[in-house]
A and B are shown apart, each in its own frame.
Chain A
Amino acid sequence: MQTRGLPGLLLVLPALLLLATLTIYPVGYGFWLSLHAKHSLFPQQTFVGLDNYFYLLHDAEFWESLRIGLIYSVSTIVLQLVLGVAAALLLHQSFFGRNIVRGLVLFPYMIPTVVAVILWKWMLNNQFGLINFGLVALGISSEPVNWFGRSYIMVSLILVSVWQFFPFVLLAVLARLQTIPTELYDAARVDGAGPVARFLFVTLPQLASVLFITILLRSIWMFTKFDTVWLMTQGGGAERYIRTMPVYAYMRTFNYYEAGIGAAIAIVMFLMLVAAAATYFFLFRGEDQL
């Protein structure tokens, strides 16, 4: 039962207003800006049409940032998913102290990125870091590894990103797991399904709708992530090698002072996301209904 509309609209209006001015307007401005050449510090700009975009098309650094960005996003998303689902399945079992464990495992998600990055920089430190100590002590490596140099920076970046955000997936999946009727598992056991079959045919389909949303959100957020990447890579000597698209856009705007180009990069990111989301919805819309 729903009543006719005006009060409803009024209720939503404040929220919408805020969103419009603070999100939609800046985005519109971003579109506009991408069509101009503008020095970040000075107020004047010149209309250049699609020149900024053409520039990017031929910019090797742009394509590199795209490549790096995709590697980073896809790896972190996949790993977050796998770890999150596995952890949720694990924490769905009943055992002594389960609630405490559940709380503890959510920690990484709750701390500021700055703290997470600094913490891991400490643990991965090549002089005093715990991780290097472990590697050397266990004989896996003959000497401490430089986690922030070119060879391993992507690995440490992915490690920290997965560590920080897998609890998001864990939360969503665990909550859903708890609403799956146990009778379905009973029926499956009677039907002869072993643990793997039960996971594939009962659990996974029930998780489809959660996974749909989770993958969508995590993809958007990992693709546009700035602070983790920026903070992890600054100062280690490997900044030049790990520029994801958001970082590249930042660089262009604040280091090269080319606000127009920076905006253009951001717009390209946006369009890519829209296209990906549209495809995603088109392919998997049904899952959301379950």
Chain B
Amino acid sequence: MTGRSGLQWLLLGLAVALLLAFAAFPLLWMGLTALKPSTEIFTWPPRLLPEAPTLSNIERLFAQTHFVTYFKNSVIVSSAAVILTLLLAIPGAYGLTRYRFFGREMIAATVLFTYMFAPIMIIIPFYIVMRTFGLANTHIALVLAYCAFSLPFALWMLRTFFQSIPIDLEEAAMTDGASRFRAVIHVVIPMALPGIIAAGILTFILAWNDYIFARILISSDNLKTLPVGIADLYNASVIDWGMIMASGLLVIIPVVIVFSYVQKFLVAGWGSGGVKG
């Protein structure tokens, strides 16, 4: 029958609990550790909840390191990367979908192809190119790098999204008196919004979390982004676990906020636009 027996509910609950524990508990642990004073962090056996929760780790983070600078840099760079990527990907994907021109399918395939180039392979030449343009050790270099990296995926995802929007809608708008451009702005883009948001989120995450490009392209401390800043914190001689966990916690918060807000778009983006069938 279609109902669930008591045993089935139990198993389901158990499985969900296990999954949650595996995926989310570590992050909870990080948050709890960040709020513990050192005496409670370095104990054996480890204690779950802080008895005397404290913000001292976070205070030290702000006072003794350039965390705030790193955070600001990450925000700037990631947001810029999203904007640039979408600015290029939306028209690009639209062009690939609605127009027929020589080499179109080839371009679409090449786009996926570029992912087979390991980042490690691209870094050095990329660095040299940037240096040639005088862009070494700038945020612009990072933004360009992140955009270049997200573009293939964004193009591909948006393309499948645009493909699923029937052209009848644009034609209706055009017979209603809109130019093609306005038809796209008012009709197509709103309908493709889940895909656009999904592409934007993925770009943001990629930029926010990147380590290797930021490590190699940026040498000035005041331009560093969070991943590099945190790694350096960790590599400092004495590891201040409490402070490090605090930094991790703060790094995640924007992602959590952005993410929980648009979570459903992400799944929709994958479902109808991201993969066919």
**Interface of A with B (CB < 8 Å)?**
1-12, 14-16, 18-19, 21-27, 29-30, 33, 40, 87, 90-91, 93, 95, 99, 101-115, 118-120, 122-123, 127-130, 133, 137, 163, 167, 171-172, 174-176, 178-179, 206, 209-210, 213, 217, 220-221, 223-224, 226-227, 231, 235, 246, 249-250, 253, 259, 262-263, 266-267, 269-270, 273-274, 277, 288, 290
Instruction: Compute how far the CA of A150 lies from the CA of B262 in the bound complex, rounded to whole angstroms.
Output: 42
Instruction: Compute how far the CA of A213 lies from the CA of B266 in the bound complex, rounded to whole angstroms.
Output: 17
Contact sample, A vs B, 10 pairs, CB 8 Å cutoff:
A12-B96, A30-B122, A33-B124, A91-B16, A102-B267, A114-B231, A122-B245, A224-B121, A249-B121, A250-B120
B44 touching A112, Cβ below 8 Å: no
A277 → B minimal CB distance (Å): 7
The 10 closest A-B pairs by CB, nearest first: A8-B99, A5-B101, A11-B95, A175-B271, A26-B125, A224-B118, A266-B121, A15-B92, A29-B125, A175-B270
A106 touching B121, Cβ below 8 Å: no
B50 within 8 A of A: no
B41 touching A90, Cβ below 8 Å: no
Question: Which residues of chain A come closer than 8 Å to B260, judged between CB atoms?
Answer: 103
Question: Which residues of chain A come closer than 8 Å to B27, judged between CB atoms?
Answer: 107-108, 111, 119
Task: List B122-176 residues whose CB lies under 8 Å from chain A.
Answer: 122, 124-126, 128-129, 144-145, 147-148, 151-152, 155, 167, 171
Residue of A9, A26, A112 near B209 (CB, 8 A) is A112
Contact (A7, B209) CB under 8 Å given A226-B119, A246-B118: no
Task: List B21-38 residues whose CB lies under 8 Å from chain A.
Answer: 22-24, 26-27, 29-30, 33
A227 touching B212, Cβ below 8 Å: yes
A119 touching B30, Cβ below 8 Å: yes
B43 within 8 A of A: yes
B117 touching A95, Cβ below 8 Å: no
Contact (A21, B129) CB under 8 Å given A2-B98, A123-B26: yes
Mask: chain B, 1-35; 1 = CB below 8 Å from A; 0 = not? 00000000000110110011011101101100100
B272 within 8 A of A: yes
Instruction: Compute how far the CA of A178 lies from the CA of B272 in the bound complex, rounded to whole angstroms.
Output: 10
A106 touching B259, Cβ below 8 Å: yes
B267 touching A127, Cβ below 8 Å: no
Contact (A14, B98) CB under 8 Å given A30-B122, A111-B27, A175-B271: no
B24 touching A107, Cβ below 8 Å: yes
A230 → B minimal CB distance (Å): 8
B94 within 8 A of A: yes
B128 touching A29, Cβ below 8 Å: yes
- Overall SS of chain A's interface: helix
Question: Which residues of chain B come closer than 8 Å to A8, judged between CB atoms?
Answer: 95-96, 98-101, 104
Contact (A111, B94) CB under 8 Å given A119-B26, A250-B120: no
Contact (A18, B88) CB under 8 Å given A104-B23, A110-B205, A133-B45: yes
B42 within 8 A of A: yes
Question: Which residues of chain A come closer than 8 Å to B248, judged between CB atoms?
Answer: 111, 115, 118-119
Interface centre among A23, A129, A217, A288 (most CB of B within 10 A): A23
B178 within 8 A of A: no
Instruction: Compute how far the CA of A23 lies from the CA of B205 in the bound complex, rounded to whole angstroms.
Output: 20
A263 touching B272, Cβ below 8 Å: no
Question: Which residues of chain A come closer than 8 Å to B12, judged between CB atoms?
Answer: 90, 93, 95
Instruction: Compute how far the CA of A240 lies from the CA of B167 in the bound complex, rounded to whole angstroms.
Output: 57
Instruction: Compute how far the CA of A267 lies from the CA of B208 in the bound complex, rounded to whole angstroms.
Output: 28
- Nearest B residue to A6 via CB reads B101
B184 → A minimal CB distance (Å): 10
Residue of B151, B235, B277 near A15 (CB, 8 A) is B151
A108 touching B101, Cβ below 8 Å: no
Instruction: Compute how far the CA of A72 lies from the CA of B32 in the bound complex, rounded to whole angstroms.
Output: 31
Mask: chain B, 199-234; 1 = CB below 8 Å from A; 0 = not? 000000100111110000000000000111011001
Q: Which one, B51-59, B61-69, B107-115, B185-193, is touching chain A?
A: B107-115
A169 → B minimal CB distance (Å): 11
Question: Which residues of chain A come closer than 8 Å to B268, judged between CB atoms?
Answer: 175
Instruction: Compute how far the CA of A103 lies from the CA of B201 in the bound complex, rounded to whole angstroms.
Output: 14
- Nearest B residue to A248 via CB reads B120
A168 → B minimal CB distance (Å): 10
Question: Which residues of chain A come closer than 8 Å to B122, judged between CB atoms?
Answer: 22-23, 26-27, 30
B251 within 8 A of A: yes
- Nearest A residue to B42 via CB reads A128
Question: Which residues of chain B come closer than 8 Å to A5, judged between CB atoms?
Answer: 99-102, 104
Instruction: Compute how far the CA of A12 lies from the CA of B29 in the bound complex, rounded to whole angstroms.
Output: 46
Interface centre among B29, B120, B211, B228 (most CB of A within 10 A): B120
Residue of B29, B152, B227 near A114 (CB, 8 A) is B227
